[in-house]
């Protein structure tokens, strides 16, 4: 969950970047906490704790904002303000390859002699 200090710094930036729809999200702070928590631990959307709201709302907002370029604008605003960002490393051992990319023989391939 975002602390009061984190949210006080982040809220004006989010408000300048996010698309203005007919109705704003009811609890944007909670939804942002769900999105950040999901990406911090690499869990699936459905694994978001119920206390952070419905998983589908966080997923829907994340996807819509990604298509609209909100995350890029938010990142550039945060970097302009000089906010310290943590580093995230994605190791290939944590990403599961598609079964076709795992070296399995294809249907109709010649067998080694």
- pLDDT band (50, 70, 90) for residue 108: low
Q: Could you read off the pLDDT of 19-50 as tens digits, one per residue?
A: 887 667 778 999 999 998 888 877 888 999 99
pLDDT of 22 reads 67
Tally of helices (H runs) and strands (E runs) in the chain? 4, 0
Question: What pLDDT is recorded for position 71?
Answer: 92
pLDDT per position as a tens digit, 63-96:
999 999 999 999 888 888 877 666 555 555 555 6
pTM: 0.70
Which of these, 59, 74, 63, 66, lies nearest to 17 by C-alpha position?
74
Residue 33 exposed, middle or buried by CB count within 10 Å (0-12, 13-18, 19+): buried
* Confidence check: pLDDT of 7 > 90: no
**What is the predicted pLDDT for the residue at 5?**
87
* Domain residue ranges of the chain, discontinuous segments joined by +: 4-94
Cα Rg of the chain, angstroms: 19
Torsion of CA 69, 70, 76, 78, to 10 degrees: -160
Instruction: Please compute, for residue 74, the number of CA atoms within 13 A of its CA located in the half-sphere on the CB side.
Output: 19
């Amino acid at each position: 969950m975002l602390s009061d200090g984190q949210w006080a710094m982040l809220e004006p930036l989010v408000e300048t970047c996010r698309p203005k729809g007919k109705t704003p999200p009811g609890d944007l702070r909670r939804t942002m906490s769900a999105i950040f928590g999901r990406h911090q631990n690499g869990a699936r959307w459905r694994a978001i704790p119920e206390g952070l709201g419905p998983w589908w709302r966080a997923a829907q907002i994340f996807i819509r904002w990604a298509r609209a370029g909100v995350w890029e604008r938010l990142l550039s605003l945060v970097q302009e303000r000089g906010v310290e960002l943590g580093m995230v490393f994605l190791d290939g051992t944590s990403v599961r390859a598609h079964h076709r990319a795992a070296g399995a023989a294809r249907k109709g391939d010649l067998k080694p002699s």
